[in-house]
Structure 1
Amino acid sequence: MNVFLAAGTYRCRDVARSVGAAVDAGVTWVDTAPNYGAGAAEGALRPVLEAHPQVGVSTKVGFVPRSDRRPATDAGVLPYDGHADHCIAGPYVTWQLARSRTRLGRDPDLVFVHNPEHGATDRAGLSRALTGGFEALEAAADAGHIGGYGVATWSGLASGRFTVTELTAVAEAVGGQHHHFRAVQFPVSLVRLAVVADALGGRGTLADARDAGLDVFASAPLGGGELLGTMTDELVRVIAPRTTPAQAALLVALSAPGVSRVLLSASTPAHRADALGAVAREPPVAGPVEKGHRCPRSLTTPGPPPG
């Protein structure tokens, strides 16, 4: 299958060790954010990226880590007091991106606007905020400081706060036909099974992203870990016989039409081997879950958003 695992760093206990092992196992992309690891994740990645310059890296802009609030306030890049924890205003995006480049030790290949639905109260306000953020990212891309940008969201697309079409329209308004909007990131798993079901029918967010030519980074493929305790033997057999519960759950995201990369934080060699085993398998013939199968009720309740 032409889908690749990427090393995620959200809730990763030892970023350098975990990502280093993932890269040694063949993973070629790592995803992070300034607020991951209590603000230390980007810096922890620097030696790994320096040792493996061929590995792609994506980071994010938007959340204001506690450690950055005072410096950002002193720099005058926050349009409000330093107690706010989210901002995608142009000056802050530019400032945060410069700090990320320093921490990573290189230019990021991709920068996601992180959970833009977090701050805006209405659709018009959200559109204005995205415009400001996209303008800063287009300028960074034009200057060669980033390879492109996207939007990473926990609930914005699922709730209808914005659509792929609307995001693309903002990018075109800001950057014209040659804009640098390249990707979206959102949860794809048994917990969010409607996303997969819609894609199998050629509709929904995954289909929209494919039609727009965007890469899709599937986040939380194991539902934040909750799936592993609720995968029944029956469900595993329905998805893919002779797999482990983790492999079966991962195959749902890996085989979803339109997904480019699946983000996974694997903390042990056994977890990494399990995940790579899922990538090596053929996708389920009848789709991730056969028509008519009912998932446990616990799998339909979304977990807490990454922040």
Structure 2
Amino acid sequence: MIPGYAQVQEAGAFLKRKGVMSRKAGSFSVSPLAIGTHLGEMNRVDSLLYQEAILCAVDRGINMVDTALNYRGMRSERDIGECLTEAAAAGHLKREEIVISTKAGILPGDIDAALVPKNYLREVLLKREIIQPDEIQVLNHYKHVLSPSYFEFAIGESRKHMNIETIDLYFVHNPEYSLIPLGEREFYRQLTRLFVKLEDEAALGHIRHYGIATWDGLISSPEAVGYLSLERIITCAREAGGEEHHFVFIQLPLNPDKPEARQFQNQRVKGRWLTVIEAAHELGIHVTVSSPLQAGAVPEKKQALSTVLQTEGILAAMVGMKRKEHVEENIEAILI
């Protein structure tokens, strides 16, 4: 496995050489634009396109890659692993220069093993007793877990797929999918237990930081089913890891159809109602953005991306870029 993890100085120097903007997030420097790997077919054709796009993105100065264990039946992580291994072997990239983020919580399938999610659950997760049947929460067509043993397994799988010893940023993926069926009291109890496991994984050097990647949870009304209180989540992190806990990131959508993160004062912190971006700043949390271009549906893409990247309090925006042409199209937004 490739040793090391992203660093402030090395990543900052890399971005300076490439002529792109650099933002600091505690222990590393990051480009404001990250390459996302969510959409696409689970086949070799799209894998080759993604690998070409990832290598192009890194060459042009995008030093953050975002993925998840369940993306494209585990192929997205494996594609990233091939790119990192190739670039490191050729001397084109140092591990300290690039930020890798991934996620788990939504139960995955494994396309290379010909296992769709329901079969992966039965043949791998349940058969090997990685999770227990009563730990599975079902919401619509999603199956979600907060089981510490599952996350220990998932982190190991992600590290293996990407051929890296340490994941820079690890997200609990859409935790609201467990919140809704569990109810608030049990959800926050289980979340604290999971954070204890993630603190252990950080102590082992398997991850550097962790957080939550959400869809509606952090931007919905406090009265809504599935609403996530950032202040309460940070309380869970403090109970799990003390004041030096490793929960320092969130991910949420921000685009013309979902402007709530910067407009809706729905998060209560120290008795004041704030937007989630303001609340994150108050609590010392970095904010990353998903779906800034609504999977390409935004008509004025350049303007929409520029607006997100220039929003005060946003560290980086994850943009799905399956082709190198998409990289070339979007890179202008972060050139110095």
> TM-score interval w.r.t. the shorter chain?
0.7 to 0.9
CA contact (8 A) 1:61 1:88 kept: no
Give the structure 1 partner of residue 51 of structure 2.
16
1:41 to 76, 82, 99: 76
Q: Does 1:169 align with 2:235?
A: yes
CA contact (8 A) 1:113 1:133 kept: no
Give the structure 2 partner of residue 237 of structure 1.
none
Q: Matches of 1:276 and 1:41 in 2, distance apart?
A: 21
Q: Does 1:247 align with 2:329?
A: no
1:65 to 77, 91, 108: 108
* Alpha-carbon shift at residue 55 of structure 1 (Å): 1.3
Answer with 74-83 or 56-65: which moved more. 74-83
In the TM superposition, what are the counterparts of 1:240-279 in structure 2 within 5 Å? 245-279=300-334
* Alpha-carbon shift at residue 266 of structure 1 (Å): 2.0
**Structure 2 SS opposite 1:119:** helix
With over 3 angstroms needed to count, the CA separation of the structure-2 counterparts of 1:61 and 1:267, relative to structure 1, is closer
Q: Matches of 1:163 and 1:226 in 2, distance apart?
A: 29
* Alpha-carbon shift at residue 29 of structure 1 (Å): 0.7
2:173 to 114, 120, 136: 114
* Alpha-carbon shift at residue 268 of structure 1 (Å): 3.4
Answer with 113-122 or 268-277: which moved more. 268-277
With over 3 angstroms needed to count, the CA separation of the structure-2 counterparts of 1:147 and 1:118, relative to structure 1, is same
Answer with 10-19 or 123-132: which moved more. 10-19
Gapped regions of structure 2 (runs ≥ 5): 1-20, 24-30, 41-45, 88-92, 111-119, 266-272
Gapped regions of structure 1 (runs ≥ 5): 229-244, 282-307
Q: Does 1:78 align with 2:131?
A: yes
**Structure 2 SS opposite 1:157:** coil
Identity %: 29
In the TM superposition, what are the counterparts of 1:1-307 in structure 2 within 5 Å? 2=23, 4-12=32-40, 13-14=46-47, 15-50=50-85, 51=87, 52=93, 53=95, 54-67=97-110, 68-69=120-121, 70-80=123-133, 85-106=143-164, 107-120=166-179, 121=181, 122-159=183-220, 160=222, 161-198=227-264, 203-228=274-299, 245-280=300-335
CA contact (8 A) 1:141 1:147 kept: yes
What is the TM-score of this pair, normalised by structure 2?
Answer: 0.73
Q: Matches of 2:81 and 2:252 in 1, distance apart?
A: 25
* Alpha-carbon shift at residue 198 of structure 1 (Å): 4.8
What is the TM-score of this pair, normalised by structure 1?
Answer: 0.80
Superimposed CA distance per residue, residues 110-140 of structure 1 (whole angstroms, 9 cap, x where no aligned partner): 1000000112321112212211221111110
With over 3 angstroms needed to count, the CA separation of the structure-2 counterparts of 1:226 and 1:44, relative to structure 1, is same
* Alpha-carbon shift at residue 153 of structure 1 (Å): 0.4
CA contact (8 A) 1:248 1:278 kept: no
Aligned residues: 263
For 2:167, the aligned partner's letter is P
CA contact (8 A) 1:246 1:274 kept: no
Superimposed CA distance per residue, residues 41-77 of structure 1 (whole angstroms, 9 cap, x where no aligned partner): 1111112122232211011121111234221112212
Q: Matches of 1:23 and 1:212 in 2, distance apart?
A: 31
- Identify the structure with the greater strand proportion: 2
Answer with 46-55 or 148-157: which moved more. 46-55
Give the structure 2 partner of residue 294 of structure 1.
none
Superposed CA RMSD in Å reads 2.1
Q: Matches of 2:260 and 2:246 in 1, distance apart?
A: 29
**Structure 2 SS opposite 1:34:** coil
CA contact (8 A) 2:262 2:276 kept: no
**Structure 2 SS opposite 1:33:** coil
* Alpha-carbon shift at residue 7 of structure 1 (Å): 0.8
For 1:74, the aligned partner's letter is K
